[in-house]
């Protein structure tokens, strides 16, 4: 225990004297949490729409007005030919082209039906899909309004219409920040935990101080604890800053208990610190450690369900996400923050994360050797 005390004292002194570490744990989380949630928004707004109105009728004008008055579309061009509208798509001035044919109004009134044509720029798949869907919704809505006007107060509607009303549980306003901020916070903890630990130990390797430690009677177990405990505390500190920002900047108050979040974070940090430790035993210098952790972090981020839904991944990819500790913690954070889940609700997640902590640290302890 006495040995550990000296190791911890030394480690904390070095941390507080290293301005780059303090910058990483204070500035990095603040900046990321202030910027990323605004950018990482799934809602598609300001879709650029080019309209080719060949009809120039009252009905076509009304429809265009209706589309533009929704907040989703911006009219970037009102052209007279389809070709010139397509040119806008080429120049990235338009995402969607809506063509209203000649006789649109006439057909609508006389024959009770009219045709419209939508061309979608599908380079950005999400934007194209959602944009097309929004546009169709609005046009259908318009269609209904037109019908209602004609069939003045009907006793019963000749066509049955199903109207769907939905209510969004757990995030009633569909505020994406509620969804993104807890996830980004998890990523921050992962990066701080893995990188700081890996780089710290590898730096001792580079300088040669680790060899000096290896000729002392310090036990491997104590040495590793001496490295893990300070970064574990730093991790919890980063989490606290992050939760503070979520509360005061985004007004996110977890529906669940802070205790649950901290219990999970405490175990989760052990897992990512163990990963950092493991990376350090396989890297000879800081560049190697950074590259390795960068590579792993990419996979962790993309396979965690932070930006893309795991449910829509193919089966093999779903399997990979099961071996990613980030997945579990992001899920838990969302469950606790949005749904108010308690420790019993997330016991399987806790178990999985504990498993990661045990395996990663066990592996690291085995592969760290005082003698080669």
Partner 1 sequence: MNEIMITTEKLTKKFGEFTAVDQISFDVHKGEIFGFLGANGAGKTTAMRMLCGLLLPTSGKATVAGYDVYRQNEKIKRNIGYMSQKFSLYEDLTVKENMKFYGGIYGKSDAYIKQKTSFILDQLHLNSEANKLVKSIPLGWKQKLAFSVAIFHEPGIVFLDEPTGGVDPVTRRDFWKLIYEAADTGITIFVTTHYMDEAEYCNRVCIMVDGRIEALDSPGQLIKTYNAQSMDDVFLKLARKAVRVDD
Nearest alpha-carbon partner for 248 in 333, 340, 181: 181
Helix H or strand E segment including 79: strand 73-79
Kindly state whether residue 285 participates in binding partner 1, applying the rule CB under 8 A.
no
Binding mask 334-353 for partner 1 (x = CB under 8 A): --------------------
Q: Which of 12, 14, 225, 301 binds partner 1 (CB under 8 A)?
A: 14
Closest approach, Cβ 273 to partner 1, in A, equals 21
* Closest CB 3 distance from partner 1, rounded Å: 5
Query: Nearer Cβ to partner 1, position 20 or 149?
Result: 20
**Positive or negative: CA dihedral 343, 347, 353, 356:** positive
User: Which residue lies nearer to partner 1 by CB, 227 or 349?
Assistant: 227
Residue 4 CB, shortest distance to partner 1, in Å, is: 9
The minimum distance between CB 200 and partner 1, in angstroms, equals 12
Pick from 364, 363, 351: which is nearest to 263 by CA? 351
The stretch among 78-86, 108-116, 186-194, 203-211 that binds partner 1 (CB under 8 A) is 203-211
The CA distances from residue 306 to 41, 75, 193, 301, 334, in Å, are 12, 32, 18, 7, 10
10 or 115: whose CB is closer to partner 1? 10
3-class DSSP state of 102: coil
The distance of closest approach from Cβ of residue 371 to partner 1 in the complex, given in angstroms and rounded to an integer, is 6
Question: Are residues 342 and 257 in contact, defined by beta-carbon separation less than 8 angstroms?
Answer: yes
Nearer to partner 1, 75 or 213 (CB): 213
Residue with smaller CB distance to partner 1, 13 or 106: 13
Q: Is 6 in the site for partner 1 (CB under 8 A)?
A: yes
Q: For residue 209, state whether it binds partner 1 (rule: CB under 8 A).
A: yes
* Distance from C-alpha of 109 to C-alpha of 200, rounded to nearest angstrom: 75
Task: Write out the two tokens for 102.
Answer: 């000649």
Select 149 or 372, whichever has its Cβ closest to partner 1: 372
In angstroms, the CA 308 to CA 315 distance is 14
Report, in Å, the least distance between residue 204 CB and partner 1: 9
The DSSP string of 126-149 is HHHHHHHHHHHHHHHHHHHHHHHH
Is residue 208 a contact point for partner 1 (CB under 8 A)?
Answer: yes
Q: Which stretch binds partner 1 (CB under 8 A): 2-10, 96-104, 227-235, 352-360?
A: 2-10
Number of residues counted as binding partner 1 (CB under 8 A): 25
Q: Does 215 bind partner 1 (CB under 8 A)?
A: yes
Residue 216 in the binding site for partner 1 (CB under 8 A):
yes
Segment lying near partner 1 (by CB under 8 A), choices 9-17, 110-118, 163-171, 175-183: 9-17
Q: Which tokens in the block code for residue 305?
A: 């369900």
How far apart CA 197 and CA 211 sit, in angstroms, is: 18
Which contacts qualify for 127-134: CB closer than 8 Å, 24 or more apart?
Answer: 127/44, 127/47, 127/95, 128/95, 128/96, 130/44, 131/44, 131/47, 131/72, 131/73, 131/95, 131/96, 132/96, 134/44, 134/47, 134/70, 134/72, 134/73
- Of the candidate residues 26, 27, 207, 319, the single one contacting partner 1 (CB under 8 A): 207
Structural contact between residues 63 and 139, judged by C-beta atoms closer than 8 angstroms? yes
- The correct pick among 66, 127, 339, 370 for binding partner 1 (CB under 8 A) is 370
* Residue nearer to partner 1 on the CB measure, 318 or 370: 370
**Using the rule CB under 8 A, is 1 a contact of partner 1?**
no
Among 32, 70, 143, 214, indicate the residue that binds partner 1 (CB under 8 A): 214
Q: Is 9 in the site for partner 1 (CB under 8 A)?
A: yes
Left if phi > 0, otherwise alpha if psi is -120 to 50, otherwise beta: which for 52?
A: beta
Query: Could you say whether residue 371 binds partner 1 (CB under 8 A)?
Result: yes
Interface residues with partner 1 (CB under 8 A) are 2-3, 5-7, 9-10, 13-14, 17-18, 207-209, 211-218, 370-372
């Amino acid at each position: 225990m006495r040995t550990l005390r000296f190791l911890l004292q030394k480690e904390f002194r070095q941390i507080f004297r290293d301005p780059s570490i303090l910058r990483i744990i204070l500035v990095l989380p603040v900046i990321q949490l202030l910027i990323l949630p605004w950018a990482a928004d799934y809602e598609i707004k300001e879709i650029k729409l080019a309209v080719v109105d060949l009809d120039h009728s009252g009905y076509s004008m009304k429809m265009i007005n209706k589309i533009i008055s929704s907040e989703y579309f911006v009219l970037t061009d009102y052209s007279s030919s389809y070709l010139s509208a397509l040119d806008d798509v080429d120049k990235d001035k338009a995402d969607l082209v809506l063509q209203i044919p000649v006789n649109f109004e006439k057909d609508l009134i006389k024959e009770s039906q009219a045709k419209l044509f939508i061309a979608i720029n599908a380079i950005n798949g999400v934007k194209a899909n959602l944009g097309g869907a929004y546009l169709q919704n609005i046009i259908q809505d318009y269609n209904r309004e037109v019908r209602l006007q004609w069939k003045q107060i009907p006793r019963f509607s000749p066509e049955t219409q199903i109207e769907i009303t939905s209510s969004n549980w757990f995030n009633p306003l569909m505020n994406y920040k509620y969804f993104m901020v807890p996830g980004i916070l998890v990523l921050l903890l992962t990066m701080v935990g893995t990188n700081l630990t890996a780089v710290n130990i590898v730096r001792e390797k580079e300088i040669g101080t680790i060899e000096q430690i290896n000729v002392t009677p310090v036990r491997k177990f104590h040495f590793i604890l001496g490295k893990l405990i300070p970064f574990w505390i730093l991790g919890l500190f980063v989490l606290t800053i992050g939760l503070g920002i979520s509360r005061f900047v985004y007004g996110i108050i977890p529906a669940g208990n802070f205790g649950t979040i901290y219990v999970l974070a405490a175990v989760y940090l052990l897992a990512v610190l163990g990963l950092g430790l493991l990376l350090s035993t396989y890297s000879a210098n800081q560049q190697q450690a950074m590259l390795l952790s960068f590579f792993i972090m990419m996979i962790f981020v993309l396979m965690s369900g932070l930006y893309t839904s795991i449910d829509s991944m193919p089966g093999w990819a779903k399997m990979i996400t099961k071996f990613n500790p980030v997945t579990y913690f992001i899920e838990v954070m969302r469950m606790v923050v949005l749904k108010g889940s308690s420790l019993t609700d997330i016991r399987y997640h806790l178990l999985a994360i504990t498993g990661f902590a045990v395996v990663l640290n066990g592996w690291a302890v085995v592969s760290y050797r005082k003698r080669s």
